[in-house]
Amino acid sequence: MANRRAKKASETRAAILHAARQRFTHEGFEASLSSIVEDAGITKGALFHHFENKQALYHEVWQELQREMIQDTQQAALEGRSLDDPYAAMLAGARRYLEWAARPDYQRIVLIDGRAALGLDWYEADFDLSQRSVRIGVESLVQKRFIAPENAASAAVIMQGALNGAGVALSRKVPGVSVDTIYKTIERLLRKLS
């Protein structure tokens, strides 16, 4: 009985998150809870059983997207490792992040509406998540002696800032900015950090 209730609760939560992600992608934070509830096929009471308010729901969808992006970029970095090019893994991860930043769901939920919907929490959470991932790549380059240990923290901050700025530029559809043009610039920047 308890297992069945737990399974039903998990399914309800997943349905809410799926519906919310779709609505937030297309309508932003302005999406109504009523439309999310309708799409999920649940009651508002069920929604509020799982999430305190719309901001809490939005934050969970934001975190879910961020976790997926981090996992995907780390996988790309692992697959991109090369004996011939010490920068290859970090560049593969950076390229994958740029591809995420070009996705409509990531753009709208994380890069455009995330800041307004989550306020300072967005900045803190984004900085922590991004800094951890970038730091892994930088530390690898430090171990290979391509970045001096005393420059590691600064290099990680610079790379994170460049990638975040690139993501915002992609979401705003800045003329002349594309995944390919930004990637080429990021590659030149990273190789100059040594």
What CATH number should be reported for the domain holding residue 43? 1.10.10.60
> What is the span of the domain harbouring residue 121?
55-192
Distance CA 2, CA 117 (A): 35
Taking the CB of residue 44, how many other CB atoms lie within 10 A of it? 12
Q: Same structural domain for residues 26 and 94? A: no
State whether 23 and 117 are in the same domain.
no
Indicate if 78 and 171 belong to the same structural domain.
yes
Confidence at residue 132, expressed as pLDDT on a 0 to 100 scale: 87
A 10 A CB-CB count for 157 gives 16
Judge if 72 and 167 occupy the same domain. yes
**Do residues 63 and 154 share a domain?**
yes
CA angle, corner 14, sides to 45 and 41, nearest 5?
Answer: 50
**Judgement on whether residues 157 and 91 belong to the same structural domain of the protein:** yes
Angle between helices 179-192 and 88-101 (to 10 degrees): 150
Looking at the structure, do residues 44 and 67 belong to the same domain, yes or no?
Answer: no
pLDDT at residue 157 in the model: 93
Please indicate, yes or no, whether residues 171 and 78 belong to a single structural domain of this protein. yes
Q: Are residues 42 and 114 in the same domain?
A: no
Report how far residue 28's alpha carbon sits from residue 22's, in angstroms, rounded to the nearest whole number.
9
- Measured from the Cβ of residue 145, the count of other Cβ atoms closer than 10 Å reads 10
Number of structural domains the chain divides into = 2
Both 6 and 25 in one domain: the answer is yes
Clarify whether residues 129 and 149 are in a common domain: yes
Mean pLDDT by 10-residue block, N- to C-terminus, for the chain (194 residues)? 82 96 97 98 95 96 95 96 94 97 96 88 80 91 94 93 94 96 95 83
The DSSP letter of residue 99 is H
Same domain for 5 and 99, yes or no, is no
Report yes or no: 73 and 56 within 8 Å, Cβ to Cβ. no
- Residue 1: predicted pLDDT: 67
* pLDDT value at residue 187: 96
At residue 181, the pLDDT reads 97
Q: Domain of 126: which CATH number?
A: 1.10.357
